Structure 1
């Protein structure tokens, strides 16, 4: 079976075998800094639902430079430098940012809400009818470590 959620680069292939457990438009400063976008479509998958064919070719760096010991690592290809995924050191989730990690963004469900919107920032609150939260959706529960 071919996964609609497949990304990566020519050296490292990432594939999800299940639907995302969370799917949002992220407004956090870290995503803005990494992608250069005002907001970014982000999908969380259970850790065990995402496979990597060549993990030995992944270079890891802290996702949040201001919190280098935080749980998320940005994985890039050691050969070409392409962004591949965010990996959780606690093995709870793996994260796809479809439009910058080699995925077909159109294959993903539309983000169901806006996360990490900060009212103190000088841009308008999203008004597309989707809920807007200061963090993740209130009913989100972090999965147990794999």
Structure 2
């Protein structure tokens, strides 16, 4: 069966038919450290809107400096590919499209966690730039 958004690896498929609830380019140090990218395209879905099927997943803290934090990085138990971020509070699941097998058909709508104090130049692509998530973002209730 075909889904609106599909990703994963050869062993685990992830998919969603609902629209994302947030879609941003992240400038935070945690994303930089985990992905090795200067910025990271991050897409949030409501927890129940993104499903994973297939093999076993390994879970590790997303933020090594906050191992008890709510987000876990899920990787394929067989090949080690990153699959998704899973919220232990069951509010969201997140993907990084270019690292988690998704197509680029869901462009980021703004920049999050940009800190001018880092010395990095401000984004110039015309999308809004915020020091956190967009001001109108509301965390969904846990499932």
TM above 0.5: yes
Shift of 1:127: 1.4
Instruction: Could you tell me which runs of 5 or more consecutive residues in structure 1 were left unpaired when the two chains were aligned.
Output: none
Kept after mapping to 1: 8 A contact 2:4/2:18: no
Residues 9 and 81 of structure 2 are in contact (CA less than 8 Å); yes or no, is this contact kept in structure 1? yes
Counterpart-to-counterpart distance in 2, 1:112 and 1:88:
22
Unaligned runs of 5+ in 2: none
Aligned-residue offset at 1:122:
2.1
Give distance in 1, aligned partners of 2:70 and 2:135: 20
Partner of residue 40, structure 1:
40
Query: TM-score, length-normalised on structure 2?
Result: 0.96
RMSD of equivalent CA atoms: 1.0
Count of aligned residue pairs for this structure pair: 143
| 1:53 aligned counterpart, secondary structure | strand
Instruction: State the distance in 2 between where 1:119 and 1:53 align.
Output: 40
Q: What residue number does 2:15 align with?
A: 15
Relative to the length of structure 1, the TM-score reads: 0.94
| Structure 1 stretches of at least 4 aligned residues deviating more than 6 Å after TM superposition | none
Query: How far 1:31 sits from its partner (Å)?
Result: 0.7
